[in-house]
């Protein structure tokens, strides 16, 4: 009788662990679907942007990778005055009024924030003033 009871207990424990794992996976999938992603690669002193249509009011992640052999900066006024999170080198920094991030060769960083300003948002490299790029942000009603 004890053996059968242990089997039922292990079966229930396994179900609880399985359900918790599925809930965690479902939550991660929902978060990934709700976050807009922009990929920016710095290569040959240019910003190369890969993105889908961006909408206002949605959480956004901009991942920037420096593929050049020199240091660059990715900065923009689109982050000014809004809560922003930057992940770089295993460190996460939070704040308002964050201007951007410096990237040494072969480094990357992720900037997370909520899109709040419509129109063209320009980004630049303060080290190399001829480098610039832009994102076009649409309001949800415009799509």
Instruction: Judge if 16 and 74 occupy the same domain.
Output: no
Instruction: Judge if 23 and 53 occupy the same domain.
Output: no
User: Model confidence over 14-46: pLDDT tens digits?
Assistant: 444 444 444 444 444 434 458 999 999 999 999
Residue 55 has pLDDT above 50, yes or no: yes
Token pair of 113, please? 């924030």
Which of 64, 140, 69, 49 is CA-nearest to residue 101?
64
Q: Are 58 and 143 in contact (CB under 8 A)?
A: no
User: Model confidence over 92-142: pLDDT tens digits?
Assistant: 888 887 888 999 999 999 999 998 888 888 999 999 999 999 988 776 554
> How many domains are contained in the chain?
2
pTM of this prediction exceeds 0.75: no
Residues sharing a CB contact under 8 Å with residue 75, sequence separation 6 or more, in sequence order = 99, 100, 101, 123, 124, 125, 126
Instruction: Judge if 58 and 95 occupy the same domain.
Output: yes
Instruction: Judge if 42 and 54 occupy the same domain.
Output: yes
**Over residues 85-91, mean pLDDT:** 91
Q: How many CA atoms lie within 13 A of 23 on its CB side?
A: 6
Q: What is the CATH number of the domain that holds 45?
A: 2.60.40.420
Query: What whole-number distance in Å separates Cα of residue 113 and Cα of residue 90?
Result: 18
Range of the domain at 15: 1-34
Query: Which among 51-55, 56-60, 66-70, 136-140 has the top mean pLDDT?
Result: 66-70
């Amino acid at each position: 009788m004890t053996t059968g009871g242990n089997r039922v207990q292990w079966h229930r424990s396994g179900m609880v662990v399985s359900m918790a794992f599925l809930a965690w996976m479902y939550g991660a999938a929902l978060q990934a679907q709700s976050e807009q992603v922009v990929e920016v690669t710095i290569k040959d002193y240019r910003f190369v942007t890969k993105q889908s249509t961006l909408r206002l009011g949605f959480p956004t992640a901009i991942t920037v990778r420096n593929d050049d052999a020199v240091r660059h900066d990715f900065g923009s006024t689109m982050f000014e005055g809004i809560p922003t999170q930057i992940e770089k080198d295993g460190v996460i920094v939070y704040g308002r009024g964050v201007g951007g991030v410096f990237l040494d060769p072969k480094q990357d960083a992720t900037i997370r924030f909520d899109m709040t300003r419509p129109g063209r948002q320009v980004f630049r490299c303060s080290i190399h003033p001829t480098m610039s790029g832009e994102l076009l942000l649409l309001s949800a009603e415009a799509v």
